[in-house]
Structure 1
């Protein structure tokens, strides 16, 4: 019987296997454990999302739908090969499936045809959604397929499983077609080969693939300007995984279109004194609000932590942002007046270290 590993073990083994991961909000505690058991775990299940655009897909698998609440997976594998960690514990990804398939996964033998749906798969499988339209023609980039391979191998390696413990949704539940565009047999062959070797670093991107990693507070226009390219050219170079130029997500990898080594922009700087001024004045709603670009950097980090609504990403350190920052201070261990929502040097430094910006005292 395989008990679920801890969230910390989970992220560490993915990194050890060479997986590029991005932590989305409070993924470690985002789960459906209150609706049913999680474990024992017996395998890994792969899906496709029937969506387009990394940011939009992350939102969907994190929040779910009214009829199927999130999280909808443990991780979302983007076309770039980046794995966004969405939830940990029981997630709504597998649904009911065939008991004979589960028995075959546990015994690590060839899978029978799935013709029944009576066993709770959300309890027994790690689930990974892959960004793809699922129409058979939407491309699967090499980096994305390699990430699927690495994720499957990482979990199987930890539990001492072989490649037969990694299955597709179409092999579990009658009527499902995902993943579509390649075969699970071919993926299991890749995982078998990877398990025969030691974990290794990720394969470098293709020749012209000079990339930029999106930081909190970034915009496509701002990134393009810093790198000396047009926003239109940057969007066109990334159109396979960007649906909307206004929807980019911290941790996303963007390909720079001219392929020349360009300097990465410096980390955003946040002036602590100006941030405190905004936090003290704006919630009172008296006079003209204090606006400062550094506020958006902090708001983006609080959104990524799952503490602030995206609708409050406005550059005003208002009452909702103060409340969210107070929650961050409590998360850091502060109490009482030390968790009043007014940024302090130490709590801001911790937020900056985690979300990639610099603090100016």
Structure 2
């Protein structure tokens, strides 16, 4: 999401961030509305202040500076700020856009910010919120007949579900605009899934809507026949892989492996790794998986957590998936993301990580 450039926003950002840190909704809302009253464009406040500080909120959690609870409280305050700004925007008449987060996608704030930016540009926007099931979205499209449906995805783990949603929406005759980092920094996975248009940020989404109607999209590259038997087999093995991860982590804890106090948190992370691996196989792109492992390695490093247990789990996955050649290649590349990480001391609770936010 492209941040604003008004210096008045930058000058108040630290103060706004402090309000988020103490979950002071009144102060945050007053500051944001005060900027608008002083002549700062609402779009600048949404993108430069709210979106910009929300990124910092996530980084503070990732670095271990904020707990999950504080991160959630700050996010809730930012949601209230967006709502307060939205109450000042009149309903648009340029056309109707339905915006929804994909099934399983619970990061609703980025989509809500985009919805408000589109409203400021004169569009009538219906925001359906987080984790909208594909069938419910399609039913709504049939009932309302919007000009465009925009889908938001923060994490590529949701791309198999995204594909089903995109195909179903297009069958209603509604063009699909995709956005969010889950589609890849350059939109490569959005194009692979055959969307009509992809926007890297809210500003580009406005520009693309100005260009309607769009040309016919390229056919999706996954194909009507699906992603192949390796994907189906990997989905069927998900439970076995999660059990294997738990077994490895329990064994290392019992043996007093470095960082043993953090294994409960790692269990969640490595369960997510199974899902990212499955999504990588679906898209035939190892980067879906290696990107997650790189993020996990950075997270563990920031919190002083040894990567040995994660590497052990990936080795177990590799041994158990001998008949899944593409998944094995993903695991080989992913394991490289965890190599050459420094060992950490085992002297106390400082190594205990938060569960995945």
TM-score for the superposition, normalised by structure 2: 0.26
Larger RCO (CA under 8 A, 6+ residues apart) = 1
TM-score for the superposition, normalised by structure 1: 0.26
Instruction: Write 1 or 2 for the structure with the bigger share of helix.
Output: 2
